[in-house]
Structure 1
Amino acid sequence: MEVFADFLAGIDNPLHRERTEEVLLWVHTKYPNLKTEFKWKQPMFTDHGTYIIGFSVAKKHLAVAPENAGINQLADEIVKAGFDHTKELVRIPWDRPVDFSLLGKMIEFNILDKADCSTFWR
């Protein structure tokens, strides 16, 4: 998690920083085989050199980016959980709890779906 220290320190709002750190630590603890990386100014987790999930911080939300395939696979559950999404990211408003079960499904889908992937992106 040290790779994320400067990123976390740069989040001005202490509540946003705490929430982001909580999510990153949860992913790191729940999926210890994933590698922590910081690329394109965002914390991300990879598996055998392929992207699994990334995060970014915005004024109104924490953005979760499982790639388009992950969003397509779980679009109904994302909407059912009450989160807004685009083709590439899911927005978790700062004033809403993180749905760790849904987050886990995004990660597990990508780990399985990209098991034989030899590129960083799909």
Structure 2
Amino acid sequence: MEVFAQFLDRIDHPGHRERTEEVLSWVRNNYPNLAPIMAWNQPMFTDHDTYIIGFSTAKQHLAVAPERAGMVHFADEIVQAGYDHTNLLVRIKWNSPVDYSLLQKMIEFNIMDKADCSTFWRK
């Protein structure tokens, strides 16, 4: 997780830093085949050089970005989890639990859906 060390060090709030590190470590531990990278100043995970999932932080939340296709595919489950969202990301408030089963589904969907993808983003 050294690749994310500088990013994590820049998170001033200790609880936010701890939560972000927890989520990134969970992805790394559960999906060791995914490559952790920093791109656009955000931690991301890739598979065969194609984007699988990315994260960012804000004052009120941790954002999870599974790409638009992932957002569409899991729209109902995102709402059921009680998460605020946009067309491109899910906002997990710092004081809300992380729905790891939903995160797992998003990651596995992208791994399978992008198995033959030769570009970073879907076209």
**What band does the TM-score fall into relative to the shorter chain?**
over 0.9
In structure 2, the partner of 1:2 is 2
Q: In the alignment, is residue 25 of structure 1 matched against residue 37 of structure 2? A: no
In structure 1, the partner of 2:12 is 12
- Deviation, structure 1 residue 26: 0.1
Flag structure 1 segments of 5+ consecutive residues without an equivalent: none
Q: Distance in 1 between matches of 2:77 and 2:16?
A: 24
Q: In the alignment, is residue 117 of structure 1 matched against residue 100 of structure 2? A: no
Where 1:62 maps in the other structure, the secondary structure is strand
The aligned runs of 1:1-122 (5 Å cut-off) are: 1-122=1-122
- Shift >4 Å, 4+ stretches: none
Q: Distance in 2 between matches of 1:99 and 1:46?
A: 21
Q: Give the root-mean-square deviation of aligned CA atoms.
A: 0.3
- Deviation, structure 1 residue 53: 0.2
Q: Distance in 2 between matches of 1:19 and 1:8?
A: 10
- Deviation, structure 1 residue 76: 0.2
Which amino acid is the alignment partner of residue 120 of structure 2?
F
Q: Distance in 2 between matches of 1:61 and 1:90?
A: 9
Q: Distance in 2 between matches of 1:114 and 1:58?
A: 28
Q: Distance in 1 between matches of 2:56 and 2:108?
A: 20
Q: Distance in 2 between matches of 1:112 and 1:120?
A: 15
Aligned residues: 122
- Deviation, structure 1 residue 25: 0.1
- Deviation, structure 1 residue 46: 0.1
Q: Distance in 2 between matches of 1:6 and 1:85?
A: 27
Q: Distance in 2 between matches of 1:87 and 1:49?
A: 23
Cα shift readout 1:61-112 (whole Å, capped 9, x = no counterpart) = 0000000000100000000000011110000000101000000001000000
Identical residues among aligned pairs (%) = 73
Q: Distance in 1 between matches of 2:2 and 2:88?
A: 26
- Deviation, structure 1 residue 18: 0.1
